[in-house]
Chains A and B, each alone.
Chain A
Amino acid sequence: MVSTKDIKDSLLNIFATLSFTVVMITLLLIVGTTIIRGIKAINLDFFFALPNPPGQPGGGILNAIVGSLILVVISMSISIPVALAVAIYLYRSRNMGLKELIRVANGALGGTPSIVAGVFVYLMVVVPITGFSALAGALALSFLATPAMVSIFEEALKLVPHEILEAAVSLGVEDWKVLLFVIVREALPMILSGILIALGRIIGETAPLIFTAFGSPSLNLDPTQPTSALPLLIYNYAMSPWKDWQEKAWGAAFVLTILELLIYLLSRRISKR
């Protein structure tokens, strides 16, 4: 005799398996296509040469690789200190109302569509001050990286056991030293993994860069100048009419995917320690 409970059970099982299969197939298709089509574009020149003029095959994407690096470094040096300061405030303060307000604001900022961050920086920074530049691009990326890090950092600090705080305080040192040298240090693995998660998020972002970093065909090391980046290059090349550029876009997508995968694996490794 088959009861309704059994039927419900097996229906749920079938549904779960089906969903899992759909997700896995989609993932394999995306990653598989990227690898198969991307790997063809990869050679030494691809990493170490600058792009050739439009329509002329050959060259590489050094400008985008260096650009992404510059953007990420500047953006992280803005957002890590800010996020850490906010997280420490949330951890320390006993002002429940203000803390709740900060958390809500942080959550809202984190939920802002990335294009909005780009347009905002365009209006507030690019137009009146810097023009298209790596600096503006990094700032837009910081708007996305900071909220994610604030929540993870706060959680990391809160997970340091109360006994550790007491032990640190008993060393007879000022609060800020207790925080920096003991609490932050004990929370460091999770803080690092939070940084990597944020890094993974911003390194693949295109939208905030369109209005800010803008892109550049040449190698640019000056943060006040327009700068290319991997996702920007993919966006521009994929829409171009030239077959060579389209292939390069696949190549860049391949590099970005591998990079994301590495960042993800690294962050998992660190947080498991």
Chain B
Amino acid sequence: MKVKIRIKNLNAWYGKRHILKNINLEIPEKTVTAIIGPSGGGKSTLLRCINRTHELKRGAKVSGEVIIDNVDIYKINPVKVRKTIGLVFQKPNPFPNMSIYENVAIGLRVNGIKDESQIKNLVKEALIKVNLWNEVKDRLNSPATQLSGGQQQRLCIARAIVLNPEIILMDEPTSALDYFSTIAIENLIKKMSSEYTVVLSTHNIQQAARISDYIVFVHFGQIIAFRDTKSLLLNPNNETIEKFITEMQ
């Protein structure tokens, strides 16, 4: 299987805190990889190092290599990196002063697409892909904040995929959502792996079991396991992971 993201000797700091310690990882193309582990272990930081949003925070520092399609993304312009990598956040964060339509369209506009009919088609296509079109087609101009949490999160996924990225990162995408919205998003993620390389962080091992092909277990900033989901869950071979799995159930 082709490797999409190759991480070599990655270290990340936040102020004086050493958050990621010597991470080495190869993420296969068009699969769902779940980063799991206890809170505060560095899941979210690892995710953000893949599209260079970690460095936006004051006092953040990164060393090492993240190679995507043979290019070390830390050697090129971060704006270019983020163009091909979508990011979906823990709490749904649509732009509050924009309409449902505009939330998806804005990414196209700032990337230089001016033809309104083209924008319209792409927005529609993205909303269909995230199974939101039927729910919002009659109120595209209402504020995005009027949608439910689950709908807002699907809107945020549409905002990411409308730019046609190759990789989609999701930072605990369902942790702020109710049961039914969670199931809807999980089904969507499973479907998405046919087109995109999806990397998501979650603290929920059942979720990882339901939707991921691979699991990366991160603990105190280090990877203690990286295997395909089934074999890891059936046979963890590691005390920390076993403890984590039992505590979760």
Q: Which residues of A contact B (CB under 8 A)?
A: 94, 161, 163-175, 177-178, 181-182, 185-186, 188-189
B87 in the interface, Cβ–Cβ < 8 Å? Answer: yes
Task: Name the 10 nearest CB pairs between A and B, nearest first.
Answer: A172-B83, A172-B82, A170-B87, A163-B93, A173-B110, A171-B107, A177-B110, A167-B93, A181-B110, A186-B97
Contact B156 A167 (CB under 8 A): yes
- Selected contact of A172 from candidates B84, B89, B156, CB within 8 Å: B84
Give every chain A residue within 8 A of B111 (Cβ-Cβ): 171-173
Contact B53 A169 (CB under 8 A): yes
Give every chain B residue within 8 A of A182 (Cβ-Cβ): 95, 106, 110
- Selected contact of A163 from candidates B83, B91, B159, CB within 8 Å: B91
B67 in the interface, Cβ–Cβ < 8 Å? Answer: no
Q: Which secondary structure dominates where chain B touches chain A?
A: mixed
Give every chain B residue within 8 A of A181 (Cβ-Cβ): 106, 109-110
Bound-complex Cα distance A163 to B53 (A): 11
Q: A167-B93, A167-B159, A169-B56 are in contact. List 6 more A-B contacts (CB 8 A).
A: A94-B58, A161-B93, A163-B89, A165-B56, A182-B95, A188-B97
Question: Taking the nearest CB of chain A, how far is it from the CB of B200, in angstroms?
Answer: 15
Query: With A164-B93, A177-B110, A181-B110 known to touch, is A171 a contact of B163 (CB < 8 Å)?
Result: yes
8 Å CB interface, B79-125 against A:
79-87, 89, 91, 93, 95-98, 106-107, 109-111
B199 in the interface, Cβ–Cβ < 8 Å? Answer: no
Contact B97 A185 (CB under 8 A): yes
Q: Which residues of B contact A (CB under 8 A)?
A: 51, 53, 56, 58, 79-87, 89, 91, 93, 95-98, 106-107, 109-111, 156, 159-160, 163
Give every chain A residue within 8 A of B93 (Cβ-Cβ): 161, 163-164, 166-167
Bound-complex Cα distance A164 to B82 (A): 15
- Selected contact of B97 from candidates A169, A178, A189, CB within 8 Å: A189
Q: List, sorted by A's number, 13 A–B pairs whose CB atoms are closer than 8 Å.
A: A165-B56, A166-B93, A170-B53, A170-B160, A171-B110, A171-B111, A172-B80, A172-B82, A172-B84, A181-B109, A182-B95, A185-B95, A185-B98
Question: Taking the nearest CB of chain B, how far is it from the CB of A180, in angstroms?
Answer: 9
Give every chain A residue within 8 A of B163 (Cβ-Cβ): 171-172
Contact B86 A170 (CB under 8 A): yes
* Of A168, A170, A182, most B-chain CB atoms within 10 Å: A170
Question: Taking the nearest CB of chain A, how far is it from the CB of B29, in angstroms?
Answer: 20
Give every chain A residue within 8 A of B51 (Cβ-Cβ): 170
Question: Taking the nearest CB of chain A, how far is it from the CB of B96, in angstroms?
Answer: 7
